[in-house]
Amino acid sequence: MKVDLNSDMGESFGPWKMGDDDAMLDLITSANVACGLHGGDPQIMLKTAKLAKEKGVAIGAHPGFHDLEGFGRRQIQGLSSSEIETLVAYQIGALQGIAALAGHRVSYVKIHGALSNMACEDEAMAKALAAAIKGVDPKLAFVVLPFSKLVDAGEKAGLELVTEVFADRAYEDNGLLVSRRKPGAVLHDPEKVAERVKRMVEEQAITSVNGKVKKIAIDTVCIHGDTPAAVSLAKAVRQRLDQAKIKVAPFSASRAA
């Protein structure tokens, strides 16, 4: 049994720092790199891609809304499907160029924040995201939340889908994430999170806040890198998986090359 560990990286910009990317890159196997619109800048993107290459970590584009002030977590209404497609394609292309300078390559796409949350429940938005990925490079994998509109959109576009669960986020009965605005949406205790991840991977299932179990095939586990306890969480998760003899590796080993 094996699983990938991913985390959002490169979200600092200018003099403003977010997260301990260096430490996280020693613990994860796939890095979701911000593309400059919700976080990140060209130099940070380059540094992140170089570090990932050195550590054998796969990289993916992590595009979001153009919203530095809100960190891409505020809903932006009124964008057409064409505007969303262009917004995402622009960001993927930016990271592809930077990755080339670092001697690395982008192998997947994971949508960030509010853009992802909205598309999970909006068919037109989900189709626009899938169209952007396919239009830039149909060989890019699409990291998706199970039971969301992203799954159907990605399948119809013929993209390789990578099913993701979250180490530190609670789930609703429908399999979608509990809103960050609700109490208990984000989990912080490293030992509890580590045990939860081990159980999810071993059972290939998620359990909602109300105890409802939904079976899924888990390809990757996300550990958010922007929380104060991110490194502690990642260390605890990695240790628990190692103890359980669950191999931690990129969801496709060739992508880290």
Q: What is the pLDDT of residue 213?
A: 97
The H-or-E segment that residue 32 falls in is strand 30-34
Phi, psi of 141 (to 5 degrees): -80, 155
pLDDT < 70 stretches in the chain = 252-257
Which letter does DSSP use for residue 16 in this model? Answer: B
d(CA 203, CA 257): 30
Instruction: Report whether 236 contacts 20 (CB < 8 A).
Output: no
**H helices present in the chain, as ranges:** 21-24, 42-55, 81-101, 113-119, 123-136, 149-156, 190-203, 230-243
Q: What is the pLDDT of residue 225?
A: 78
Which residues partner with 7 through β-bridges? Answer: 31
Phi, psi of 242 (to 5 degrees): -60, -45
Q: pLDDT tens digit string along 79-89? A: 999 999 999 99
Q: What is the pLDDT of residue 224?
A: 86
Q: Hey, what are 107's tokens?
A: 């192998």
Q: Hey, what are 78's tokens?
A: 């009124």
Residue 160: C-alpha distances to residues 2, 8, 118, 155, 248 (Å)? 18, 20, 21, 8, 20
Strands 213-215 and 2-9 turn out to be unpaired
d(CA 218, CA 238): 16
pTM: 0.94
- 87 — alpha (psi -120 to 50), left (phi > 0) or beta? alpha
Q: Which domains does the chain have, with CATH numbers?
A: 2-256 (3.20.20.370)
